[in-house]
Amino acid sequence: MIVAIDIGGTHIRVAAYEPDSTKPIAQTRVPSLANQPGVFDRLSQAVESVWPRQKVDAIGIASPGPLDPYTGTILDTPNIEEWVNFPVGPKLSERFGVPVFLDNDANMAGLAEWQFGAGKGHHNLVYLTISTGIGGGVICHDQLLQGSHGMGAELGHMIVDPDGPPCGCGHKGHIESFSSGTAIARYVNDQLKAGQKSTLQTDPGLSARQIADAALNRDALAISAFERAGHYLGMAVANYLAIFDPSILIFGGGVSQVGDLLFKPFEASLREHIFHLHYLDNLVITKAALGDDAGLLGALALARMRAA
């Protein structure tokens, strides 16, 4: 038996799985209340609520980073203010008496897509989630890429323009600062403040979905926002192909659902910036298959792999 945990800024999801099954025998979802004290206690109570009578072999956790999967430590996740250098893995292991395995939520989504979803049957995979931010996961020769510090595959922080806008991490010009939902909305708001005409109105709560709807109604600013995002995304992915040479590229996250608005300029930019077109031969480019369950299923896959 495996207990899998997906820690989010809004909710904590926990599920228990029997061997060789991806259907939980018990599951729960509780508010993270991430800005309030007691997140670990809420997490522990959620685990207790699904803990099965049968022997549990391990706990797997998908969590926002940055983190150290080798020590089970959350280094400094912006979603949970009280978790700085927080040893969530050792603390859960002590409390429940089983091994605990932790990794980045985007890595876990990539692992899940490889094991159970769109990437089944592939040996080299790049997964990108495009939503509020941009995250990634990489499988190389059937191995999850983690790196010497466990912080590999931070694909959202690839620099595509050193003079570009600030990323959420504070540095300039990362692909997240151009192509995430947050970045697309910020660009539209900046252009509106500069006097650009649009059916959209300046709004700090403006979403990529609203901008996509405007683009589908031929709003020029909205269209240009996705063209810009797709252009830089193609540039970043050209870099990823040169580094990892995957056989499949999987896109997840809400912004990836806008379709051709983003992916037509992306494909044009990718061809423009790619080192050699041979990278594209037989390359599968597709959408993620697991939706909101990717984090949980990645945590499940990680725990099964490490506990075996």
Catalytic positions are: 105
Q: What is the largest CA-CA distance in the chain?
A: 64
Instruction: Tell which residue, 236, 231, 188, 228, has the closest CA to residue 209.
Output: 188
Residue 212 near residue 87 (C-beta atoms within 8 A): no
Residue carrying the six token digits 């992916």? 263
End-to-end CA distance of the chain: 12
- Sequence-separated (6 or more) residues with CB below 8 Å from residue 260: none
Q: Rounded to the nearest 5 degrees, what angle is found at the Cα of 101, between the Cα atoms of 98 and 104?
A: 155
Residue 286 near residue 256 (C-beta atoms within 8 A): no
Q: Rounded to the nearest 5 degrees, what angle is found at the Cα of 146, between the Cα atoms of 306 and 34?
A: 85
